Structure 1
Amino acid sequence: MFRTKDDRQTSWAQNQGNLGSDSEESEHESTHTTPLTKEDLRKMLKETSADIKDYTTAALEKQIAGLKGDIEALASRTGEAECTLKDTQTQVTSHGREMGMLKDRILFLEDGLEDLNNRSRRQNILIGGLAESVLPEAILPTIKAVFHSLLLDTSEQEIYIEQAHRALRPPSPNSNTPRDVIVKILHFPVKEQLMKVGRDHPPVYQGQQLQFYQDLAPSTLRKRRDLKPLTTALLETGLRYTWGSNLLPPPSGDQTYSLHQVSDMQDFATHLGIQLRYPAVDSHLTLNDNTSRRSDSRANMARPQPKRRPLNASQEHTQRDT
């Protein structure tokens, strides 16, 4: 259906009238709305705060409950760990005491074995300087002749030699020093007499002076070598010492001090008020260096003679008293 121009104008006028009436109604309603007061705002803020507080409190209580459970679990585990640690400390302390007792027993047994080893060597004489040109089958008659020259008032038949042989190790290719000869005398008094005369008047064979030493256990030689700085310092300060069952008991004035372990050497020297000088370590020096052992042994000739310790001729001898 087609509308005329007049119809369209009439419809537009009606629409404008409706819009005007709507705006008037909205203005009328706005004029009648009650404004918010401070009390209303406070009430709304209070309600909002209460809601936030309730929500926050519930969330915090939930989280705190979880943390409390975790803390209780950690406290339980910590208590168990403390109990375990306490038991472990008790066991470690007990094991430490037991290990200390076992260490003392081992040292006691080692000292006993060393003493037995030395006692089995008490009738041995260690002779240094006998040339390697003396063949093994000629060692026994040669030693008998040397001993007979020392004890002129004793017939050759009274010096009974059970065995005589060189140290059981190969000759050193880097040294001209001959291997030592170990001689076991049957009668101990004869051996002691030979040692005394041989040290006071060293015999000479084929132009080479022979040196007499007491045959000692390797462990004893090692201890005496380790104590070399202390014995040197004692000699320099004029303190006399002797070798005994306690390894080294040096008398000082009216008092006597005993050293039982090599590890206590520094404390021992500090107590006596002496200073130790340790020799420089030679990287080219080996345990089979006969020259170094020979020089140390010759230096010992000027020392106070130690108490003799017995040893076993059947065991390999590798070093002298150092």
Structure 2
Amino acid sequence: DRIDDLENRSRRNNVRILGFPEGAEEGNPIAFLSTILPELLGLDPVVPLDIERAHRSLGPRPPPDHRPRAFIVQLLRCTIREKILRAAREKDKVIWRDKKISFYPDLSKDLQQRRQRFAEARQQLQDRGIRYGMFYPATLKVTYNGVTSAYSSPEEVLNFLKSLPPVIFLVQLSY
């Protein structure tokens, strides 16, 4: 647990960016991202991003018909990381040259899998219009009728959802 925590803390200023085609950076990912990200996200171009390091995820270059590797971007300040992630979330869909670009915090594979276990519960919460948030490391906080509860396992969330009254959808037919 301590090693996993240390690994994730070492990544706390990192952003994982998916969707840019291979070779779009033309050999200089820092310069490419420093110019493209403010345009794409509507960030102030005067404020520097202070990118310490940027590279594609490890592994061989995929063939053209496969999904491109992600960019891993290490920023000097976590405030810039938060601005990037917030701007991407507010913009909803980020498109660059007809490609969808996605932004995520960079987490270890183990932590990503632990958070992924909540996918079904999060979908059900979203379908019901219930407010929720995922907190570090893998805790889902749910706010329902003004009361906030924290869950560390998806089973707890699903049990909570079963205890709620059923949702009735009204369908309006028009002729």
User: TM over 0.5, yes or no?
Assistant: yes
Q: Distance in 2 between matches of 1:242 and 1:270?
A: 17
Contact 2:52 2:75 in 1 (8 A): yes
Which digits, 9 at most, give the CA deviation of each residue in 1:104-145, with x for residues without a partner? xxxxxx2x4444333222211111111113356232211111
In structure 1, the partner of 2:111 is 220
1:249 CA drift (Å): 2.2
Hey, which of these two has a bigger chunk of helix by percent?
A: 1
1:181 CA drift (Å): 0.5
Q: Distance in 2 between matches of 1:254 and 1:152?
A: 36
2:7 to 103, 106, 117: 117
Hey, which of these two has a bigger chunk of strand by percent?
A: 2
Q: 1:135 to 1:255 in 2, by over 3 A?
A: closer
> Helix, strand or coil for the counterpart of 1:199?
helix
Contact 2:25 2:32 in 1 (8 A): no
RMSD: 2.8
Contact 2:134 2:140 in 1 (8 A): yes
In structure 2, the partner of 1:170 is 60
In structure 2, the partner of 1:248 is 140
Q: 1:237 to 1:198 in 2, by over 3 A?
A: closer
Contact 1:241 1:251 in 2 (8 A): yes
Which digits, 9 at most, give the CA deviation of each residue in 1:72-111, with x for residues without a partner? xxxxxxxxxxxxxxxxxxxxxxxxxxxxxxxxxxxxxx2x
> Helix, strand or coil for the counterpart of 2:130?
coil
TM-score by length of 1: 0.43
Which digits, 9 at most, give the CA deviation of each residue in 1:139-166, with x for residues without a partner? 22111111343434415xx322111001
Q: Which amino acid aligns with 1:259?
A: Y
Q: 1:113 to 1:152 in 2, by over 3 A?
A: same
Q: Distance in 2 between matches of 1:243 and 1:119?
A: 17
1:237 aligns with 2:136: no
Q: Distance in 2 between matches of 1:274 and 1:178?
A: 43
In structure 2, the partner of 1:273 is 162
In structure 2, the partner of 1:198 is 88
Which digits, 9 at most, give the CA deviation of each residue in 1:59-84, with x for residues without a partner? xxxxxxxxxxxxxxxxxxxxxxxxxx
Question: Number of aligned pairs?
Answer: 160
In structure 2, the partner of 1:160 is 50
> Helix, strand or coil for the counterpart of 1:258?
strand
Percent identical = 24
Q: Distance in 1 between matches of 2:89 and 2:149?
A: 28
In structure 1, the partner of 2:20 is 130
> Helix, strand or coil for the counterpart of 2:16?
strand
Q: Distance in 1 between matches of 2:157 and 2:82?
A: 33
In structure 1, the partner of 2:43 is 151
Q: 1:136 to 1:168 in 2, by over 3 A?
A: farther
In structure 2, the partner of 1:299 is none
Single out whichever of 217-226 and 238-247 deviates more from structure 2. Answer: 238-247
Which digits, 9 at most, give the CA deviation of each residue in 1:218-270, with x for residues without a partner? 1221012222121112222222211124621222324333222x4xx335422
Contact 1:249 1:258 in 2 (8 A): yes
Q: What are the equivalent positions in structure 2 for 1:175-194 lying under 5 Å apart?
A: 176-194=66-84
> Helix, strand or coil for the counterpart of 1:223?
helix
1:210 aligns with 2:101: yes
